[in-house]
């Protein structure tokens, strides 16, 4: 085998993504590979496969081969096949759904049983807490997460497939850790993505006073006050005031 072929094989990495249904596994991969996000939930059947070519440094090109495994495969017979020659395992849970976090212990136990005899390559297991854009709905306490991570010596990241928050930086740091490639502070900052608030259409709020309806438009993201803008509502004796 030539040096170039050897380098090519050494720079390929297999990443298997596991977790319960509807925690966002597919969207995490799609966000990283294509900067895409789907609002429509379509359960994965068996497994799907994705490829991402990236670089950790000027001299380190990497081909990442993702195996996106259905949440139903925990009780299936193909998990051993999907985990064959795996390099990185990512366990995903939904921070707003405690049951999905609670199941990680089962997933981890099964993974350990399958890969413990496969010593052909280094293994790295990480945990992704998805939907961090819904922090106000968090049902998994941070101390619970930290205890689980420390107990099993795992790597932990909080991400949002919806907004893209921490997706690139999490994968970059994970790959760099696996390949022992040091990242500069500038490289880490470059991979971070600023979360953008999603503008929700104005929602009319209806209230009544003295039998007269009054409508105001409420902006769910930001209320902009313009003191120079005058309200030219038309008034009549038998009509209501509209603002």
> Length of the chain in residues, anyone?
243
Which residues touch 123 (CB under 8 Å, ≥6 apart)?
86, 87, 88, 89, 115
Domains for the chain: give ranges and CATH numbers: 3-191 (3.40.50.300)
Specify the pTM. Answer: 0.74
Residue-level pLDDT, tens digit, the chain, 243 residues: 445 544 545 689 999 999 999 999 999 999 999 999 998 888 899 999 999 999 987 778 999 999 999 999 988 889 999 999 999 999 999 999 999 999 999 999 999 999 876 655 678 999 999 999 999 999 999 999 999 999 999 999 999 999 999 999 999 999 999 999 887 765 556 555 444 434 344 444 444 444 433 334 344 444 444 444 444 444 444 433 333
Distance of CA 179 to the CA centre of its chain: 22
């Amino acid at each position: 085998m030539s040096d170039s072929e050897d380098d090519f094989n050494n720079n390929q990495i297999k990443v298997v993504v596991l977790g319960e249904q509807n925690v966002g596994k597919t969207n995490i991969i799609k966000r990283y590979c294509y900067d895409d996000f789907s609002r429509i939930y379509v359960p994965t059947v068996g497994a799907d496969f994705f490829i991402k070519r990236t670089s950790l440094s000027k001299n380190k090109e990497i081909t990442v081969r993702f195996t996106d495994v259905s949440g139903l495969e925990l009780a299936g017979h193909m998990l051993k096949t999907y985990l064959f020659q795996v390099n990185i395992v990512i366990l995903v849970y939904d921070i707003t759904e405690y049951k999905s976090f609670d199941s990680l212990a089962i997933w981890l136990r099964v993974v350990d049983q399958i890969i413990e005899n496969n010593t052909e390559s280094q293994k790295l297991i990480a945990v992704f807490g998805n939907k961090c854009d819904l922090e106000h709905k968090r049902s998994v306490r941070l101390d619970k997460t930290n205890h689980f991570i420390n107990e099993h010596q795992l790597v932990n990241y909080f991400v949002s497939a919806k907004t893209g928050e921490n997706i690139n930086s999490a994968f970059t740091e994970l790959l760099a850790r696996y390949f022992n490639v040091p990242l500069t502070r500038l490289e880490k900052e470059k991979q971070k993505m600023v979360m953008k608030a999603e503008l929700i259409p104005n929602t009319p709020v209806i209230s009544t006073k003295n039998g007269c309806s009054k409508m105001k438009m409420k902006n769910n993201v930001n209320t902009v006050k313009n003191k120079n803008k005058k309200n030219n509502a038309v008034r009549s004796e038998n009509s209501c005031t509209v603002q």
